[in-house]
Amino acid sequence: MSQRTQHPIAQIVGTYARPYASRFSAGIFLQLLARIPQRVPALVIGVAVDALLIGSAAYTLPLVPDAWIPTGQTAQFWFTVGLLALAVSLRGGLDWLSALLTFGATVDTIHDVRIATYDAVLGLEMGYFDDTGSGSVMSVLNNDVNNLRNLSGALTRAIMFGGQVVVAYAFMLLLNWQLALAVGLFPVVLAGGGRIYSRLLEQRYTRVREQVGSVNDRLGDAIDGISTVKAFTKEAHESRRLAAHSREYLKANWSTVRLRVGFDGFSWSLSNLTHAGLLLFGGFWVLNGPPLFFTRELTAGTLFTFLMYTKSFLAPVRAMSTDVIDAYENGHASAKRVYDTLTETRTVDADDGPDIAVTDGHVAYEDVTFSYTGDGETISGVSFDARPGELVGVVGSTGAGKSTLLKLLFRFYDPDSGTIRIDGRAIQSHSIRSVRDAIGFVSQDPFLFDGTVRENVAYAEPGADHERIVRAAKLAGAHEFITDLDAGYDTEVGERGVLLSGGQRQRIAIARAILHDPDILVFDEATSHVDNETEIRIKESFDSLAADHTTFVIAHRLSTVRDADRILVLDDGELVEEGTHEGLLDRDGIYADLWRVQVGEFDAVSESFVADGGARESGREVGR
């Protein structure tokens, strides 16, 4: 926890830039070193003006022994040219090498941050993804991580400009410390303004980064649901919705632009006033001798050097207070988001207990209650016992809590009260990874990854041999259609498996779960996308699987779970009935009504069932 209170930039730099510290330091050192030759031309030209053009002073250079300086005008002229060429090349070479080192180290650092953030996101729990849209997650991984480049740019430029200012000022003090002190007022005034500016800018950039996430959420939603958008011809509607979010983003951007332009104007005026003041004041000094309380001599050549130095002194001070603060705050807002993601505590490993040892797959729920939001229970006081090797059907209307009930078994969420046990051990006290490892899962909307059929079946065990893959596919009723595909098991399924039908995807996902061979299997509406023939095949595989697995099947089609050893009937989060198909029909409760709807005996459905909204509008679905 204490880590979260530290400065995000310090944390990120301390952790991820440290391995490249030697390259960063060498780059920064060369950067600072280059500032010395950068100041030489103005000095040399000033001296040459006085000595060679006006002839008002001898050719002397600070810190250079007179013995090194040639005598005679022509020799001094060429000496000047040589010095200029040397200074310019030295500066260019040092800057080039420094850029190579710092940019290279930055790119490496950003790569490491991206991988670390990606790993952190993958380790996060479902609750995080419920609260954070996928677009926002993507914007952190993409935009914000890349935006850290701004930060590195700002920091390296701050060091460069800082060096430039210090060196220029040192040269100015050397030339005429009295005039240098007068010019030194400028950065003091600017720094005061810069502080206020920086604070205002930080708030605005935080808002900009949030809006980038929100636009990405909207975009992701529309693209993920593109077939629905097209089917309902809702392109214009989606476009309007995106435009609304984009306008918020634009507003946030505008507010930073206005602030930036305003401050830029302020610093520009201040810089020009300083320059004009120096010209007037210095000109007066050269012509009439030292004014006011000043005592030192000022020659035309020195004034010229001074004016050039002031320029190279004012420019970086201005750049620091505008560009650098801007890039820093921009990068700072991103660094905060990256850091928050890196330090998000809702991780799979957050409350890691010892690994659970599953031997039989005996599942017991004891008075389990759970709510997603804190108000209104999604699961209320559910207790049941699923013995090893049982096939357990979970039925109920849409929204009754069937999926939620089994999400608790995976520890996607933990119950608010009550206990879930596997083989007598409370899963809450065991590591999430080991609990999940004991359970195979096929979701309502199975997800296939871009790759071959083989890779998708062997997702949990990439090294599985061909025989095992084929056996799993046969059990899932998938082998036949797979062998009919162009390249059989080596057929590419496309992103998210788009090249296959819903039923085919589902069967591959079932094969994937079977190959993993855990003690417990959970099928969430696994037969919802398949035709009747495949359903029968899958049902048969449930029966054969159930011999050595405890198998949960969430089903809308009651026929899928007709032969189950135990059927749990959920209504509004409560377990209202439990038994076998026959037993439940005899009981003549909700299950019997659901069954009658399914087999088309609408007249026989009880009035209370209809009054209850067809067990909450489920008629349509159970009748599928």
Q: In what helix (H) or strand (E) does residue 569 lie, and over which residues does it extend?
A: strand 566-571
Q: Which parts of 111-130 interact with ligand ADP (CB under 6 A)?
A: 130
Cβ neighbour number for residue 421 with a 10 Å cutoff: 16
Q: In what helix (H) or strand (E) does residue 585 lie, and over which residues does it extend?
A: helix 581-587
Q: Which parts of 127-146 interact with ligand ADP (CB under 6 A)?
A: 130
Sequence letter at residue 462: P
CB 367 within 8 A of CB 573: no
Mask of contacts with ligand ADP, 47-86, x by CB under 6 A?
----------------------------------------
The residue among 437, 444, 442 whose CA lies nearest residue 456 is: 442
428/443 with CB nearer ligand ADP: 443
- Sorted by sequence, the CB contacts under 8 Å of residue 32 that are 6+ apart come out as 159, 160, 163
C-alpha neighbours within 13 Å on the C-beta side of residue 376 = 8
224 touching ligand ADP, by CB under 6 A: no
142/398 with CB nearer ligand ADP: 398
445/480 with CB nearer ligand ADP: 445
Mask of contacts with ligand ADP, 423-442, x by CB under 6 A?
--------------------
401 touching ligand ADP, by CB under 6 A: yes
In the complex, what is the shortest distance from the CB of residue 568 to ligand ADP, in angstroms, rounded to a whole number? 11
Can you tell me the distance from the alpha carbon of 62 to that of 175, in angstroms, rounded to the nearest whole number?
9
Can you tell me the distance from the alpha carbon of 285 to that of 303, in angstroms, rounded to the nearest whole number?
9
Helix axis angle for 145-183 and 235-288, nearest 10°, is: 20
Q: In the beta sheet, which residues pair with residue 579?
A: 567
Helix axis angle for 21-33 and 35-48, nearest 10°, is: 0
Tell me the pairing of strands 550-554 and 391-396.
parallel
Instruction: Report the Cα 476 to chain-centroid distance in Å.
Output: 37
Binding residues with ligand ADP: total (CB under 6 A): 12
46/401 with CB nearer ligand ADP: 401
22/398 with CB nearer ligand ADP: 398
The residue from 162, 225, 353, 399 that contacts ligand ADP (CB under 6 A) is 399
Task: Find the farthest-apart pair of alpha carbons in the chain and give their distance in angstroms, rounded.
Answer: 121
31 touching ligand ADP, by CB under 6 A: no
220 touching ligand ADP, by CB under 6 A: no
121/470 with CB nearer ligand ADP: 121
129/294 with CB nearer ligand ADP: 129
CB 274 within 8 A of CB 186: yes
The residue from 13, 44, 400, 453 that contacts ligand ADP (CB under 6 A) is 400
In the complex, what is the shortest distance from the CB of residue 399 to ligand ADP, in angstroms, rounded to a whole number? 4
446 touching ligand ADP, by CB under 6 A: no
527 touching ligand ADP, by CB under 6 A: no
Binding region for ligand ADP (CB under 6 A) out of 184-192, 321-329, 370-378, 415-423: 370-378
The residues of the shown chain that bind ligand ADP, judged by CB under 6 A, are: 130, 372-373, 378, 396, 398-404
